[in-house]
């Protein structure tokens, strides 16, 4: 039987958006190393409820590394220390017995705290709503199958399409930029024939929405790439910049 784990857990607690927040410390022991990080938080909440105390609020949904809802910062790293792993797929065996774990919400100007570890990431949704889709008629699936797409271009589009909008890139960036997220959405559609008719308008609308939501600018730190659980490459930011410059030159709206 595998040895159990014990941790000193310091977690950010905040009753509401306008409340003063702070860290609360809990000692957890007897935990299986095969537990996921979120299962550890479940154990903590069961204890808090039994003691008649307020349980911890944290985001989660699929718990399969698919949806991106489980974003939080562990010891200063969004989603924790394991590369290309969401928080729900991070297991306790990756931490030393007795280690102190500091857990915070995703910190960014555009992500206001709702409660405890839960933040409002709807700013990312509003960027998509600004034009991160195909609205012109491009036919059905049989029509798409008749359009030749080079394999390299298709692979790059699929790489960008993996973005799950978890917000880890924003929290990792010292400027709170959403360039990796927005670049992934623009790259995905710009590389495919179906996305090309709205290519110029899309990038102008998405960049404008990104700025209106209060996200910072990119200073090429590339911490976003390290934090991304899906390994979105930095080249999507380069493509965003190229697409924006091209659109500014050809669009009637200009800059």
Task: Spell out the residues 6+ positions from residue 68 whose beta carbon is closer than 8 angstroms to its own.
Answer: 86, 164, 165, 166, 167, 229
pLDDT for 155: 95
Q: Do the beta carbons of residue 204 and residue 248 sit within 8 Å? A: yes
Answering whether pTM is above 0.85, one says yes
The yes-or-no verdict on residue 185 having pLDDT over 90 is yes
pLDDT higher than threshold 80 for residue 255: no
CA angle 134, 161, 174 (to 5 degrees): 110
Binned at pLDDT 50, 70 and 90, residue 252 comes out as low
Query: Rounded mean pLDDT of 153-176?
Result: 96
* Residue-level pLDDT at 189: 96
Q: How does residue 253 score in pLDDT terms, banded at 50, 70 and 90? A: low
Select from 27, 28, 33, 40 the least CA-distant residue to 1: 33
Which pLDDT does position 2 carry in this prediction? 61
pLDDT at 186: 97
**How many percent of the chain have pLDDT more than 70?**
97
Look up tokens 């774990």; give the residue. 101
Per the document, the length of the chain is 255
For residues 65 and 89, is the Cβ–Cβ distance under 8 A? yes
Query: What is the reported pLDDT for 254?
Result: 46
CA distance 62 to 240: 30
Residue 114 clears pLDDT 70, i.e. is over it: yes
Domain 122-250 part of CATH 3.60.150.10 = no
- Greatest alpha-carbon span in the chain: 68
Report pLDDT digits (tens) over 123-149.
999 999 999 999 988 888 777 778 889
Contacts of residue 67, Cβ cutoff 8 Å, sequence gap at least 6: 61, 164
Q: Reply yes or no on domain 5-115 having CATH 3.10.20.30.
A: yes
What are 192-249's pLDDT values in tens digits? 999 999 999 999 999 999 999 999 999 999 999 999 999 999 999 999 999 999 999 8
Average pLDDT, the chain: 94
- The domains of the chain are located at 5-115, 122-250
């Amino acid at each position: 039987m595998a040895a159990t784990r014990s941790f000193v857990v310091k977690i950010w607690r905040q009753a509401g958006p306008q409340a003063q927040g702070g860290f609360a410390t809990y000692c957890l022991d007897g935990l299986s190393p095969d537990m996921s990080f979120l299962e550890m938080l479940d154990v903590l909440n069961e204890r808090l409820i039994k003691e008649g105390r307020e349980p911890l609020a944290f985001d989660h949904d699929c718990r399969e590394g698919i949806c991106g809802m489980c974003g939080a910062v562990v010891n200063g790293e969004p989603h924790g220390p394991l590369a290309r792993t969401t928080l729900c797929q991070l297991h306790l065996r990756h931490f030393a017995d007795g280690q102190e774990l500091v857990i915070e919400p995703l910190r960014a100007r555009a992500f206001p705290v709702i409660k405890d570890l839960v933040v409002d990431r709807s700013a990312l949704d509003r960027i998509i709503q600004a034009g991160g889709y195909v609205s012109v008629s491009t036919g059905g699936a049989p029509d798409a199958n008749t359009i030749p797409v080079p394999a390299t271009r298709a692979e790059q589009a699929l790489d960008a399409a993996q973005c799950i909008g978890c917000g880890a890139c924003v929290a990792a960036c010292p400027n709170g930029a959403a360039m990796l997220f927005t670049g992934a959405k623009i790259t995905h559609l710009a590389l495919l024939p179906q996305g090309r008719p709205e290519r110029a308008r899309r990038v102008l609308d998405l960049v404008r929405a990104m700025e209106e939501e209060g996200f910072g600018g990119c200073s090429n730190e590339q911490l976003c790439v390290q934090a991304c659980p899906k390994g979105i490459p930095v080249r999507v930011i380069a493509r965003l910049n190229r697409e924006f410059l091209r659109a500014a030159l050809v669009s009637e709206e200009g800059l």
